Amino acid sequence: MNFDTVKQQLVELEQLLVQPATRFSAEMLNRHLADDFYEIAATGRCFGKADVLARLPAETPPVISQQDFECRVLADGLAQLTYRATIQRADNDPSYSVRNSIWRFDGEKWQMVFHQGTPCGPL
pLDDT at 29: 97
What span, in angstroms and rounded, lies between the C-alpha atoms of 103 and 77? 8
What span, in angstroms and rounded, lies between the C-alpha atoms of 123 and 111? 27
pLDDT at 91: 82
Question: Does domain 3-119 sit in CATH 3.10.450.50?
Answer: yes
Q: Give me the count of residues in the chain.
A: 123
- Strand, helix or coil for residue 46: strand
pLDDT at 88: 94
So where are the chain's domains?
A: 3-119
- Give the pLDDT of the chain (123 residues) as one tens digit per residue: 788 999 999 999 999 999 999 999 999 999 999 999 999 998 899 999 999 999 999 999 999 999 999 999 999 999 999 999 999 998 889 999 999 999 999 999 999 999 999 999 987
Query: 26-44 as b/e, with b when 16 or more CB fall inside 10 Å?
Result: eebbeebbbeebbbeebee
What span, in angstroms and rounded, lies between the C-alpha atoms of 64 and 87? 5
**Taking Cα atoms as reference points, which of 8, 113, 2 lies closest to residue 69?**
8
Q: What's the pTM value of the predicted model, to 2 decimals?
A: 0.93
pLDDT at 3: 85
Q: Long-range contacts made by residues 47-53, C-beta under 8 angstroms, separation at least 24?
A: 53/26, 53/29
